[in-house]
Amino acid sequence: MTTIDATTLETFRQRRSLGARVSDLAAEIGFSPWQKLDKLIRHGLPAKSKQETVSVPIPIPRLPAEAFTSAYKPRSVADILGQPQVRAALQTFVASPRSSAMLFTGPTGVGKTSAALALAVELGCELDATGIGGVRVIASGEQTADSVRQALNQLYYTTLRGSGWKVIIVNEADRMHPAAETIWLDALENLPSKSVVIFTTNYAERLSDRFRDRCMTLEFEGARNALGVDARRLLAFVWRDCTKQEIPSRVADQIITEATDSKGVLSYRRLLQIAERELLTKGTQVP
């Protein structure tokens, strides 16, 4: 006999909200009648008994408290998967950093934004100290002349927290307003000390030659052939972390195939989203 506790119930509540049937969930842990489980999911455990005794033949995954793409993102340059050339270039940069503009190109979901954030951390910026830790992210669609001017201004001030390095990350740089581009073109040639500006884009060809010439370009790989080995490692890690079990290789194959588009481009973002969905909706009984 084992117990059903509040955490398990919470996992079931999430899985039900994603479409899992309570009768299936009940069958999974041998709980009968399923209506009783439904009641527990809806109303929680009775106050006096914080645990309900049931037999649990199948382990229930324990998922992180945040989306998989947040929980399992690279925390340092060394953690960036499937991009050995990018990783090596960034490690060399961290060893002798200087003010620079960089352009991270490549398909979606292969680590461009994560790598920019990991680089900022390695330069000593504090990501948690919003606004004062040295990192500023300009979201796509917000690249007006004003937002660029504001961001550039901040490069001239000392940061309140962190090492003093300042990193501006501009996502989806191809969407920038022409007026914003003009300002960047001017500024990138004369960046203040301890300043790095990183542009990311899925469509490098949409940027002007003049703009690209001012940046050091790092190309991120997207081909399944190149990313597959690390994709499998990531899945194995996530699966073990959530279920304490090894991922069946058939399941890993299916997830990698689903995360690959018709052109053979694999997205780690999609891979994590699919793994999260599978663990939430089917538990360890995938598929």
Residues that bind ligand ADP (CB under 6 A): 69, 72-74, 80-83, 108-114, 200, 268-269, 272
Nearer to ligand ADP, 83 or 143 (CB): 83
Cβ at position 118, least distance to Mg ion in Å: 13
Q: Which residue, judged by CB position, is nearest to ligand ADP in the bound state?
A: 111
- State how far the Cα of 170 lies from the Cα of 160, in Å rounded to an integer: 22
- State how far the Cα of 171 lies from the Cα of 169, in Å rounded to an integer: 6
Nearer to Mg ion, 83 or 113 (CB): 113
The CA-based angle 256-244-285, given to 5 degrees, is 60
Is residue 42 within 8 Å of residue 36, measured between CB atoms?
no
Nearer to ligand ADP, 80 or 187 (CB): 80
In this structure, the chain runs to a length of: 287
Cβ at position 234, least distance to ligand ADP in Å: 6
**Angle of helix 224-243 relative to helix 249-258, nearest 10 degrees?**
130
Residue 113 as a binder of Mg ion (CB under 5 A): the answer is: yes
Nearer to ligand ADP, 238 or 286 (CB): 238
Residue 201 as a binder of Mg ion (CB under 5 A): the answer is: no
Q: Which does 114 bind (CB under 5 to 8 A by kind): ligand ADP, Mg ion, none?
A: ligand ADP
Q: Is the dihedral of CA 267, 272, 275, 277 positive or negative?
A: negative
Tell me: cis bond preceding 74? Omega within 30 of 0 counts: no
Q: Which does 69 bind (CB under 5 to 8 A by kind): ligand ADP, Mg ion, none?
A: ligand ADP
Radius of gyration of the chain (CA): 23
Binding residues (CB under 5 A) for Mg ion: these are: 112-113
